[in-house]
């Protein structure tokens, strides 16, 4: 694999994990694994600056504000922290601090890194006026009413401070988490995976009464801005404590990094006994003046670092290996485990990904294994304890036929996945409908997993086209569906008919065709008939659409079942036309590439302006590029533009052209 391709794939993988963690509260890997991926990308980008990209996840905080809440622009950016995993890296950070302070003496404060949801609390004249999530660091969500339900947050301060903004971590104590899950279990509700997800889900409730019942708590760990004069972080802690805030537990000042690291190790040893979850320890320069001297990058402060603890591991036994069928027909093996408690819950299953994973681990049925939770949620096997084998262990073999439909399974050369390619496979159909209705596809509100399964079990739907023929009387008689909820679902399905072509293409679940590819394909062909009649060569000629994606698309639309599905959707009134791009604008026919940090516009804002005026924005520089808009710290794209003789303009010049 080329270095450029490796970098691009890492960026894509990390961005997906960012969305799972920050937007959906559904991480699929542990923080430790995520940090390893990010560090690998940082190293590759440093070694190969020619592949620099201002949109890389290494240059952003991560996460976006959800639409359900009013957006809040943070007066002081809520940055993330750089992460380290070893004493050597901690000492390297210490050297950078010493160099930045040019021999001046300094102190460190060491704190626990609480595993929760970061929030901002704003006070004016001693009164709590607004609370918000971090979001992407610059814009978050207004959750003031929900935060007011947390009893440890003071609503009125004993001192009438003119202006104060603090940052804290909202969390759910372990005991509260266990009690909440027990209550949900008794009510036949789905259980929360861990305390962090429970806290995040509770804070994002639109009804603050629900939040109030969740017994959330908070530790305040930083002063973002204030009118009071302070000299040190530790002094700020004592002041906040006097104002009634519940501040970070176990915080100590040290004069050397060696002493600070000893404290980190002590915290790690105490981690299992704490009444709340932590995922590391934080080291901060104590002097606020020295922090100003050291400064920050666009993503992280240079005066603080987070030491991350690895995920908890436990030993258990693989009792059996069974397979599960995904919406695209992928057969995924799963280990049936002797139940064991890991990271706060009992685990009895673990994903084994694919046949190659099992062979690489040399995993057998009956093996003793170490498991951990990816993202503290999804159990996975990390090590096989071969020294504990007795000889009674058995090899696993992937089935030759699909367990759901009996059709032969297929593994394409060069791929790790084994698939059922039958379009009539019942297991795939349910998952296909769930994907079709999801937020990233047709976004049919109220049509979640349980409702889809309920509609399929009732015989009301068997494919995505059937959704558009559902009527009020079909739904209202089902369990948990009253008149209002039934009508809401019918209305949501009716609204989905108006979605543009790219959402429909994405919702069809065509292998290798995601949201971006669907948008490019829809924008090129304009309507469904043109897409369905396109050749592999025509599709592959579209920007950012490769040969394999083109082959997958053309094969999908060659299937008789697909053609019948589309015809039924057309008859139901589903839109088959692409969203109209502006035409006749001053930038029509022109292709732009954005690189570096622009003075006033965000990348998304500049792209929107260009597209509104008929132009196109590409992610890479080529001979087809007309202009490169370069900002501060423009990297390899600027170099390539100069080498190809492409016009390089500033943000100001772009705005002049648009005018």
Q: Catalytic site residues?
A: 113
SS3 content of the chain, % helix, strand, coil (to 5): 40, 20, 40
Q: Return the sign of the alpha-carbon dihedral for residues 30, 54, 305, 204.
A: negative
CA 530/CA 541 separation, integer angstroms: 15
CB 430 within 8 A of CB 404: no
Least Cα distance to 63 among 149, 139, 142, 158 occurs for 139
Beta-carbon count within 10 A of 450 CB:
11
Rounded Cα gap, residues 382 and 431, in angstroms: 28
Spatial distance between the Cα atoms of 367 and 390, rounded to a whole number of angstroms: 9
What are the Cα distances from residue 578, in Å, to 89, 542, 614?
51, 15, 15
Distance of alpha carbon 115 from alpha carbon 171, whole angstroms: 7
Separation between Cα atoms, residue 312 and residue 65, nearest integer Å: 30
Gap between the Cα atoms of 268 and 29, Å rounded: 21
* Strand duo 304-308 + 278-285: pairing: antiparallel
Contact 446, 488 (CB under 8 A): yes
3-class DSSP assignment, residue 489: helix
Buried b (16+ CB within 10 A) or exposed e, 247-285: bbeebeebeebeebbebbeebeeeeeeeebbbbbbbbbb
Residues 6+ apart with CB under 8 A from 228: 161, 164, 239
Contact (Cβ atoms closer than 8 angstroms) between residue 278 and residue 250: no
Handedness of CA 291, 294, 296, 300 (dihedral sign): negative
DSSP E strands in 412-474: the ranges are: 419-420
Q: Is 12 helix (H, G, I), strand (E, B) or coil?
A: helix
Contact between 381 and 335 (Cβ < 8 Å) = yes
Within 13 Å and on the Cβ side, how many CA atoms surround 352? 33
Nearest Cα to Cα of residue 64 among 10, 25, 30, 34: 25
Residue that is written with structure tokens 């993503």 in the block: 299
Closest-CA residue to 258 (of 413, 108, 433, 409)? 108
End-to-end CA distance of the chain: 44
Which SS3 state, helix, strand or coil, does residue 4 take? helix
Q: Taking CA 407 as the corner, what is the angle to CA 406 and CA 410, rounded to the nearest 5 degrees?
A: 130
Of all helices (H) and strands (E), which one includes residue 108? strand 108-114
**Crossing angle between the packed helical segments 174-186 and 195-203, to the nearest 10 degrees:** 80
Q: Which positions ≥6 away from 360 have C-beta within 8 Å? A: none
């Amino acid at each position: 694999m080329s270095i450029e391709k490796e970098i691009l794939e890492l960026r894509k993988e990390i961005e997906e994990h960012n969305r799972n963690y920050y937007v959906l509260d559904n991480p699929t890997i542990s923080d430790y694994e995520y940090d390893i991926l990010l560090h690998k990308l940082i190293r590759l980008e440093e070694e190969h600056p020619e592949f620099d990209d201002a949109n890389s996840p290494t240059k952003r905080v991560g996460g976006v504000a959800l639409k359900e809440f009013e957006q809040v622009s943070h007066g002081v950016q809520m940055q993330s922290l750089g992460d380290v995993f070893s004493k050597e890296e901690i000492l390297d950070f210490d050297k950078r601090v010493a160099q930045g302070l040019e021999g001046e003496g300094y102190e460190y404060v060491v704190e626990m890194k609480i595993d929760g949801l970061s929030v901002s609390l704003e006070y004016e004249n001693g009164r709590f006026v607004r609370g918000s999530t971090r979001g992407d660091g610059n814009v978050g969500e207004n959750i003031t009413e929900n935060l007011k339900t947390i009893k440890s947050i003071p609503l009125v301060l004993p001192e009438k401070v003119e202006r104060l903004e603090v940052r804290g971590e909202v969390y759910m104590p372990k005991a509260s988490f266990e009690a909440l899950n027990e209550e949900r279990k008794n009510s036949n509700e789905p259980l929360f995976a861990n305390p962090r997800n429970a806290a995040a889900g509770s804070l994002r409730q639109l009804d603050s009464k629900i939040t109030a019942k969740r017994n959330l708590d908070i530790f305040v760990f930083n002063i973002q801005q204030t009118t009071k004069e302070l000299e040190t972080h530790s002094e700020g802690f004592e002041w906040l404590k006097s104002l009634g805030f519940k501040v970070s537990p176990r915080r100590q000042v040290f004069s050397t990094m060696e002493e600070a690291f000893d404290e980190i190790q002590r915290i790690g040893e105490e981690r299992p006994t704490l009444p709340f979850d932590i995922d590391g320890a934080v080291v901060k320069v104590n002097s606020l003046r020295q922090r100003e001297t050291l400064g920050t990058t666009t993503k992280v402060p240079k005066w603080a670092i987070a030491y991350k603890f690895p995920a908890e591991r436990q030993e258990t036994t693989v009792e059996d290996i069974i397979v599960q069928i995904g919406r695209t027909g992928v057969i995924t093996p799963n280990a049936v485990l002797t139940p064991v408690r890991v990271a706060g819950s009992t685990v009895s299953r673990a994903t084994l990904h694919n046949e190659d994973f099992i062979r690489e681990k040399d995993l057998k049925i009956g093996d003793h294994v170490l498991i951990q939770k990816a993202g503290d949620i999804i159990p996975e096997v990390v090590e096989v304890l071969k020294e504990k084998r007795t000889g009674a262990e058995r090899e696993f073999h992937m089935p030759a036929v699909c367990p759901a439909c009996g059709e032969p399974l297929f593994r394409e050369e060069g791929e790790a996945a084994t698939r059922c390619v039958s379009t009539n496979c019942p297991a795939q159909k349910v998952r296909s409908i769930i994907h079709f209705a999801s937020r990233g596809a047709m976004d049919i509100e109220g049509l979640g997993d349980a409702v889809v399964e309920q509609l399929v079990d009732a015989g009301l739907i068997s494919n995505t086209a059937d959704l558009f023929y559902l009527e009020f009387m079909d739904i209202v008689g089902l369990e948990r569906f009253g008149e209002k909820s039934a009508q809401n679902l019918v209305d949501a399905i009716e609204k989905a008919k108006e979605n543009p072509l790219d959402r429909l293409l994405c919702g069809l679940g065509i292998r290798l065709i995601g949201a971006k590819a669907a948008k490019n394909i829809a924008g090129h062909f304009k309507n469904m008939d043109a897409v369905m009649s396109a050749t592999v060569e025509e599709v592959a000629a579209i920007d950012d659409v490769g040969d394999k994606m083109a082959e997958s698309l053309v094969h999908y639309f060659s299937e008789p079942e697909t053609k019948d599905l589309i015809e039924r959707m057309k008859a139901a009134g589903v839109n088959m036309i692409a969203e109209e791009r502006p035409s006749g604008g001053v930038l029509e026919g022109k292709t732009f590439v954005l690189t570096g940090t622009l003075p006033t516009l965000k990348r998304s804002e500049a792209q929107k302006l260009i597209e509104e005026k008929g132009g196109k924005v590409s992610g890479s520089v080529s001979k087809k590029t007309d202009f490169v808009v370069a900002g501060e710290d423009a990297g390899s794209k600027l170099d390539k533009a100069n080498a190809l003789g492409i016009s390089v303009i500033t943000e100001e010049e772009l705005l002049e052209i648009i005018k």
